[in-house]
Structure 1
Amino acid sequence: MSRLKKSRSMKGKLGKTGTKEMLKEQKKARKAATPSRFDAKKAKQRKEQAHKKLDRLGLLPEKEVAQPKVRPKRFTFTPKVEDAASQQVEQAKSEDLVKSDLLDSLTEQN
């Protein structure tokens, strides 16, 4: 009896009992499955290695310096801008009040 290599594929497990349609479904399932940790790690390593090589050769596009986004401040103090005309009106009102106070004080004494 010859020894057969154990196959991890579904084809080997099915042998001659499974149909082609079943095999196709299993292939789809294998492709749709998330990659194993080993495969993901190796893919990441290959990507990093390629990146380093491009960097060494000077073919890597220049990175743009990431500027932090300036968040608008929520509560900001904005000094009130007063017009010259409004200032004159306020001064006139204050002068009128002073005059009226003076007149009132004079009339009270009399």
Structure 2
Amino acid sequence: MARVKKSRSLKGKLGKTGTKEMHKEQKKARKAANPTRFDAKKEKQRKEQAKKKLERLGLLPEPEAVQQKVRPKRFTFTPKVDETAKKVDANVSEEDTVVNDLLDAFTEEN
């Protein structure tokens, strides 16, 4: 009695009874499925191995410096202006101008 290999896919089960459309649907489903952990791990290992080989041969391009993105400022600091200080400065400047005008007037008359 011959031993039959167990198939994990439906292709083996549908080999005699399945239609071409069913095979196509199965193939689409297999391609659309997320990769297994094993496949992802192997793919990562292959990429690392390829990088190492290029590095050994000196063909690996120089890595560019990665610049961090500038975060937009949501709030800008505006210093609080003291109104009393403004008034004092205005008064002092007005007094200075008045005094200067009076001195100029006296000096012109003499």
Q: How does 1:16-31 map to 2 (within 5 A)?
A: 16-31=16-31
The equivalent residue for 1:102 is none
State the SS of the aligned residue for 2:3.
coil
Deviates more, 1:62-71 or 1:1-10: 62-71
| Shift in Å, 1:8 | 1.9
| Shift in Å, 1:53 | 1.0
| Shift in Å, 1:97 | 6.1
* Gaps in structure 2 of 5+ consecutive residues: 80-89, 101-110
Distance 2:47 2:22 in 1: 35
After superposition, what is the alpha-carbon deviation per residue over 1:8-56, rounded to whole angstroms, capped at 9, x for unaligned? 2321021311111111111111111111110010000000110111111
* Gaps in structure 1 of 5+ consecutive residues: 79-88, 100-110
Distance 1:67 1:34 in 2: 32
Over aligned residue pairs, what C-alpha RMSD do you find?
Answer: 3.0
Number of aligned pairs?
89
| Shift in Å, 1:3 | 0.3
The equivalent residue for 1:108 is none
1:57 aligned partner, one-letter code: L
The equivalent residue for 1:4 is 4
2:60 aligned partner, one-letter code: L
Distance 1:55 1:77, change over 3 A: farther
The TM-score with structure 2 as length reference comes to: 0.64
Distance 1:16 1:59, change over 3 A: same
The equivalent residue for 2:37 is 37
Distance 2:72 2:98 in 1: 43
Distance 1:72 1:31 in 2: 41
2:57 aligned partner, one-letter code: L
